[in-house]
């Protein structure tokens, strides 16, 4: 086992040296693809984070009719609460709202009558249900006015959808391109070593013994490409995090530690992708040149 | 020349035979290379497979080492139907068969010792045995003194000797030689066939495909003549023409 591994390592390194230009092309393509995939993943992660936050904070403000008594207003809250789409409601008495208004205006409104109605802050189970709940509540006679950020939520959800679809499509295309390059590199190595492979098979080398150097070569492209991608991504993300924290604090990014998780995924993904490309290359080569 | 045992004890005990049971083989392009071939080769035999180019000699050998599988019939090697053998067992079959080709198939970027070491390493021979075996087989073929030379530095005959050394380095029970003298002059061809005969005398079954009359006539061994993929003559101790001239249509 140890000798097989040693042989495979020696052969893999010799292959990489022999086709250094193709190896460079394969590794850099994998690195570039994984870098873009990683960046897309980080963007998606943060867009999701923002969307969740904004949507999580999205509330419907239901203002009760001014003619309603406190008991009727509380009954209205209870009625809203009983809607299946509603997760939580908070009752804001008109006096409290008046005090909040005074505090926000930083001036006393003493002597002026309180113009505000009792209000109910409503949170739905899902952001997409905000408009639906608002439409239901708006029809009720006890309700004077309904306010919610429907357009903002709609826009955010659309952005999230576009980013998700765009990231997935771009990632798949880039990974396919990287796989194709790795596949081609391994294929060239296989063709260059056709004679050696033929001799190995002729004298009775097992398929795993024959395949091991090529799998290691493929794994090398995947792992090194992933590490390069990570080395490019990590400083970039740390810099972006610093800029956002300093200048765009209302759009906080996920902490830099997320790059470590992302890096682990990149290395695993790079390895899996390269090994898959190598296996396909090997299988096609063996089928064509050594079918029996 | 000092001789060394060519077959280890494990292979000596078994009665190693090759049995073609009504074997036919047709290539993908519908060319029938062999038709209803029924023949048996016993352990320790030396067999010439003769006939002009394209008569199925190479296919006959390929069927033995499972490079191809028969389209009809069975090829039995040491009691195993190699055509129906699972693919994972093929390497084990091939470790018991040495193969020599007309074009030597040596790796030009390796010395002749490295060529043999490479083959031994590929089948997992222990490191301590690899050098000893390499030296032994090179001494057997008379090239121990040139073990650090590259193939390009050797004559065609010497390259074929290296190819034979590589084929017997794993102590095979069967040695298949596909036109091994095709690229050699008559004198060198005779040297090669004598080397194969020496290997055969030490117990290895040898099957040699050739259309070289002088080579066949020089050792007076069994001759099987293939004609249009059929066995037309099987002479226990014969000459080339004795087998070939009487083929139908000749």
Q: What is the ipTM of this complex?
A: 0.80
Q: What is the per-residue pLDDT for B207?
A: 96
Tracing tokens 């949170």 back to the chain, one arrives at: A123
User: Which whole-number Å values give the CA distances from B210 to A173, B2, B62, B214, in the listed order?
Assistant: 55, 28, 15, 10
pLDDT digits (tens, 9 = 90+) for A144-179: 888 887 767 777 778 888 888 888 888 888 888 888
Region at A205 (left for phi over 0; alpha for psi -120 to 50; beta for the rest): beta
- Residues of chain A in contact with residue B122, where contact means CB-CB under 8 angstroms, are 199-200, 203-205, 209
- Residues of chain A in contact with residue B99, where contact means CB-CB under 8 angstroms, are 202
Cross-chain Cβ contact B94/A204 below 8 Å = yes
Angle, CA of B116, B122 and B126, to the nearest 5°: 80
Q: φ, ψ for residue A143 (rounded to 5)?
A: -100, 130
Task: Name the residue with higher pLDDT: B145 or B55.
Answer: B145
pLDDT digits (tens, 9 = 90+) for B38-53: 999 999 999 999 988 8
pLDDT in tens, chain A (292 residues): 666 788 788 888 887 887 788 888 888 888 888 888 888 888 888 888 887 777 666 678 889 888 888 888 899 889 998 999 888 899 989 888 888 877 777 667 777 778 888 899 888 887 778 888 888 988 988 888 888 877 677 777 788 888 888 888 888 888 888 888 888 888 888 888 888 888 888 888 888 888 888 888 889 988 999 999 999 999 999 998 888 888 776 677 888 888 888 888 888 988 998 899 999 998 888 887 765 5
CA atoms of B115 and B149, how far apart (whole Å): 11
pTM above 0.80, yes or no: no
Q: Which CATH class is domain A59-148?
A: alpha beta
Cross-chain Cβ contact B67/A292 below 8 Å = yes
Do residues B172 and B137 touch, judged by C-beta distance below 8 A?
A: no
Cross-chain Cβ contact B166/A203 below 8 Å = yes
First vs last C-alpha separation in chain A: 26
Region at B54 (left for phi over 0; alpha for psi -120 to 50; beta for the rest): left
CA atoms of A184 and A203, how far apart (whole Å): 27
CA atoms of A28 and A134, how far apart (whole Å): 53
Domain boundary assignment for chain A: 2-54+154-288, 59-148
Q: What is the per-residue pLDDT for B246?
A: 52
Closest CA to A72 of A117, A25, A23, A13: A117
Q: φ, ψ for residue B37 (rounded to 5)?
A: -85, 125
Which residues are CB-contacts of B166 (< 8 A; sequence separation ≥ 6)?
Answer: A203, B98, B106, B115, B116, B119, B137
In chain A, the residue whose alpha carbon lies closest to the alpha carbon of B93 is: A204
Q: What is the per-residue pLDDT for B180?
A: 93
* Chain B interface includes A192 (CB < 8 A): no
CA atoms of A225 and A42, how far apart (whole Å): 18
In chain A, the residue whose alpha carbon lies closest to the alpha carbon of B82 is: A292
């Amino acid at each position: 086992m140890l000798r097989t591994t040693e042989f495979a390592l020696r052969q893999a390194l010799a292959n990489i040296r022999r086709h250094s230009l193709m190896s460079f092309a394969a590794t850099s393509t994998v690195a570039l693809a994984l870098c873009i995939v990683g960046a897309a993943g980080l963007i998606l992660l943060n867009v999701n984070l923002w969307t969740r936050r904004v949507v999580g904070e999205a509330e419907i403000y239901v203002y009760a009719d001014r003619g309603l008594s406190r008991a009727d207003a509380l009954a209205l809250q209870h009625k809203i609460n009983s809607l299946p789409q509603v997760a939580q409601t908070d009752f804001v008495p008109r006096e409290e709202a008046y005090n909040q208004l005074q505090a926000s205006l930083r001036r006393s409104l003493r002597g002026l009558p309180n113009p505000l109605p009792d209000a109910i802050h409503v949170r739905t189970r899902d952001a997409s249900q905000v408009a639906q709940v608002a439409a239901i509540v708006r029809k009720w006679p006890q309700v004077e006015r309904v306010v919610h950020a429907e357009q903002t939520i709609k826009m955010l959800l659309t952005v999230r959808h576009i980013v998700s679809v765009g990231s997935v499509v771009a990632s798949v295309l880039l990974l396919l391109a990287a796989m194709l390059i790795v596949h081609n590199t391994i294929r060239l190595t296989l063709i260059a070593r056709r004679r050696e492979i033929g001799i190995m098979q002729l004298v009775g080398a097992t398929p795993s013994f024959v395949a091991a150097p090529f799998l290691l070569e493929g794994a090398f492209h995947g792992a090194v490409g992933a590490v390069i991608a990570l080395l490019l991504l990590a400083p970039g993300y740390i810099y972006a995090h610093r800029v956002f924290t300093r200048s765009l604090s209302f759009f906080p990014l996920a902490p830099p530690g997320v790059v470590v998780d992302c890096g682990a995924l990149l290395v695993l993904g790079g390895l899996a992708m390269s090994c898959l490309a190598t296996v396909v290359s090997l299988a096609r080569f063996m089928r064509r040149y050594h079918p029996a | 020349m000092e001789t060394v045992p060519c077959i280890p004890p494990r292979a000596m005990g078994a009665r190693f035979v090759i049995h073609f049971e009504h074997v036919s083989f047709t290539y993908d392009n519908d060319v029938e290379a062999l038709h209803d071939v029924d023949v048996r080769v016993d352990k320790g035999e030396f067999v010439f497979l003769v006939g002009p180019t394209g008569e199925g000699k190479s296919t006959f050998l390929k069927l033995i080492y499972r490079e191809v599988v028969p389209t009809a019939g069975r090829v039995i090697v040491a009691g195993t139907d190699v055509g129906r053998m699972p693919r994972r067992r093929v390497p084990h079959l091939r470790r018991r068969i040495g193969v020599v080709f007309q074009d030597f198939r040596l790796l030009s970027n390796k010395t002749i010792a490295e060529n043999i070491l490479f083959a031994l390493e590929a089948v997992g021979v222990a490191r301590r045995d690899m050098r000893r075996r390499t030296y032994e087989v090179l001494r057997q073929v008379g090239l121990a003194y040139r073990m650090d030379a590259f193939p390009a530095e050797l004559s065609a005959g010497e390259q074929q000797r290296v190819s034979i050394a590589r084929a017997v380095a794993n102590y095979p029970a069967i040695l298949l030689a596909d036109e091994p003298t095709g690229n050699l002059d008559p004198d060198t061809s005779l040297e090669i066939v004598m080397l194969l005969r020496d290997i055969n005398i030490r117990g290895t079954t040898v099957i040699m495909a050739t259309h070289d009359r002088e080579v066949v006539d020089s050792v007076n061994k069994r001759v099987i003549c293939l004609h249009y993929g059929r066995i037309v003559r099987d002479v226990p101790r014969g000459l080339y023409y004795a087998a070939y001239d009487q083929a139908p249509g000749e």
